[in-house]
């Protein structure tokens, strides 16, 4: 499905970074080692690389990688891009200064397993930044999964990051304008947490 979506000439979600990420980048320390989950066509990895971070991206789509590398060339930046599913990807242990999850929707088991791997793979003081559609998004027709089990629940996220310092933790309704598939009134979870152990 993702290869098919990314095969078109236009960038499915645009070339500009997610604006929540833009607004929260200030929490990431300079020159941090950053992992972008389910990165697709590379818009967020590209933005982070432009800011001088050491960026690693992962996604299951080879077409997404192709377009991400093209975007990096246009911007004269570089980042590493690995083809893997979230289930298969080796997150490592205490490896990342920050992990970014922007609209990385999966089934519930994979979601919770991913949160556990994120906890283990962040260094002490590392940050997890997430924006994704919550269950109220089903009322809209502006993007995201139609399966409620693939939407995010703020309480579940907070429970998964017990012991972290919560910097941002909220459900919001806002306008999103990201390419062809994320456009209009949207309901999302916004979450930034710092590993304090």
CATH number at residue 167: 3.40.50.150
- Cβ within 8 Å of residue 190, ≥6 positions away: 20, 130, 131, 168, 169, 170, 171, 172
pLDDT at 180: 87
Structure tokens at 164: 């972290």
Count how many domains the chain has: 1
Q: Give the span between the Cα atoms of 87 and 107, in whole angstroms.
A: 11
Q: List CB contacts of 116: < 8 A, sequence separation 6 or more.
A: 160
| Residues paired with 37 in a beta bridge | 101
pLDDT of residue 106: 97
pLDDT by residue, tens only, the chain of 197 residues: 889 999 988 999 999 999 999 999 999 999 999 999 999 999 999 999 999 999 999 999 999 999 999 999 999 999 999 999 999 999 999 999 999 999 999 999 999 999 999 999 999 999 999 999 999 999 999 999 999 999 999 999 999 999 999 999 999 999 999 998 899 999 999 999 999 99
Q: How much is the pLDDT for 88?
A: 96
Residue 186: give the domain boundaries.
Answer: 2-194
């Amino acid at each position: 499905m993702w290869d098919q979506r990314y095969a078109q000439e236009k960038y499915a979600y645009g070339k500009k970074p997610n604006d929540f990420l833009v607004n929260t980048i200030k929490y990431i320390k300079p020159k941090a080692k950053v992992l972008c989950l389910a990165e697709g066509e590379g818009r967020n990895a590209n933005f982070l690389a432009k800011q001088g971070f050491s960026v690693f991206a992962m996604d299951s789509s080879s077409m997404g990688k192709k377009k991400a590398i093209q975007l990096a060339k246009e911007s004269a930046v570089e980042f590493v891009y690995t083809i893997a599913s979230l289930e298969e990807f080796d997150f490592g242990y205490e490896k990342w200064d920050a992990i970014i999850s922007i609209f990385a929707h999966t089934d519930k088991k994979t979601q919770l397993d991913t949160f556990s791997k994120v906890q283990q793979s962040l260094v002490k003081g590392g940050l997890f930044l997430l924006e994704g559609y919550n269950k109220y998004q089903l009322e809209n027709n502006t993007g995201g999964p139609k399966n409620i089990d693939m939407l995010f629940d703020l309480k579940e996220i907070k429970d998964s990051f017990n012991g972290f310092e919560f910097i941002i933790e909220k459900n919001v309704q806002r306008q999103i304008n990201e390419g062809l598939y994320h456009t209009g009134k949207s309901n999302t979870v916004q979450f930034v947490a710092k590993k304090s152990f």
